[in-house]
Structure 1
Amino acid sequence: MSKATRATQALRKLGVAFTLHSYDYDPEAASIGLAAAEALGEPPARVLKTLMAEVDGRPVCAVVPSNREISMKKLAVAFGGKSARMLPPPEAERLTGYHVGGISPFGQKRALPAVLEQAAMGEPHVFLNGGQRGLQVRLRPEDALKALGGRSASLIA
């Protein structure tokens, strides 16, 4: 497994401190994020999933704990919109340049507006996808937010 991905390169370029953590990716897992949390031995609230969505027809990136569901209404409000929907996997892959199960919020092909679930800001560290299946980056939530160039908001149902 390559440790140099667009995500890790983007983080290094920004001077963000992080560590890499690999695990055996299971494409058959009912929840990729929960499987990652279990494999890493971390609470699911610290292992965040990257969700690609549209708000009023504009693509956006949302990052939420792997054990929680996103509220489409809250997502729309976070971006000043009226409605939100999840992007179909092929569209998410095309926009990000990553494969589903390996979509990182960092180093996407196209910089999109991003929001991080505010509950994650209370964690000492969080894990986010490192740009490929089975690779996570561990960093402080404040550093993740800085690297995203986004903001935090309440997104979970």
Structure 2
Amino acid sequence: MADIKKTNVMRILEQHDIPYQEHHYSKDDVKKGIDVAQKTEIDPNQPFKTLVTVGKSKEHYVFVIPVNKELDLKKAAKAVDEKSIQMIKEKELLPLTGYRHGGCSPIGMKKSFRTTFHSSAQEYPTILFSAGKVGVSVEVSPTDVMKVLEIQFMDVTK
């Protein structure tokens, strides 16, 4: 795997002396987020996905939740003090965050957005999320993520 380049997420983690483990997958191995758990033989609640939303106020918010869960838009809106929120359109993701669908990471977005991790992230010594490229994840301590992102932990799933 020496020919695999580091992602910006990995560089940011290294700049902050945050240990991480990288995981690589082919599109054939991983079709859905839950496949990551099977591929890495970890608890199916440890892989997380990054979702970007927009509130009624037109502010954007990031939610990082287990891949086997669904975002509860009402709970999410309440968590960020919005009347309502909705998922952004896929075509808006790259210009807004710098990431493509399936490779969106909470770390290293073009702008900083208010970020909420599902409260279950605190139950594990490490969680996995995208390293900013489709087919690459980083496994990192949720506590360490707080060194690079201002985050809150809340139950925002159905």
Q: Is the shorter-chain TM-score for this pair beyond 0.5, marking a shared fold?
A: yes
Higher alpha-carbon Rg:
2
SS of 2:91's equivalent in the other structure is: helix
Measured in 2, the distance between the counterparts of 1:28 and 1:20 equals 15
What amino acid is aligned across from residue 78 of structure 2 in structure 1?
Answer: V
Equivalenced residues, count = 155
Q: Which runs of 5+ in 2 are unaligned?
A: none
What amino acid is aligned across from residue 126 of structure 1 in structure 2?
Answer: I
What amino acid is aligned across from residue 34 of structure 1 in structure 2?
Answer: I
Question: What's 2:141 paired with?
Answer: 140
Q: How does 1:15-54 map to 2 (within 5 A)?
A: 15-26=17-28, 29=31, 32-54=32-54
With over 3 angstroms needed to count, the CA separation of the structure-2 counterparts of 1:71 and 1:26, relative to structure 1, is farther
**Do the aligned partners of 1:116 and 1:145 also contact (CA within 8 Å) in 2?**
no
What amino acid is aligned across from residue 97 of structure 1 in structure 2?
Answer: G
Query: Is 2:86 the partner of 1:92?
Result: no
CA shift, 1:18, in A, is: 0.9
Q: Deviation digits for residues 54-104 of structure 1, max 9, x if unmatched?
A: 122211110000101110011111111110100111111211111111111
CA shift, 1:11, in A, is: 1.5
Question: What's 1:55 paired with?
Answer: 55
CA shift, 1:27, in A, is: 9.6
Question: What's 1:77 paired with?
Answer: 78
CA shift, 1:36, in A, is: 2.0
With over 3 angstroms needed to count, the CA separation of the structure-2 counterparts of 1:145 and 1:61, relative to structure 1, is same
TM-score (norm 2): 0.90
Question: What's 1:118 paired with?
Answer: 119
Query: Is 2:6 the partner of 1:4?
Result: yes
**Do the aligned partners of 1:6 and 1:108 also contact (CA within 8 Å) in 2?**
no
TM-score (norm 1): 0.90
Measured in 2, the distance between the counterparts of 1:117 and 1:123 equals 12
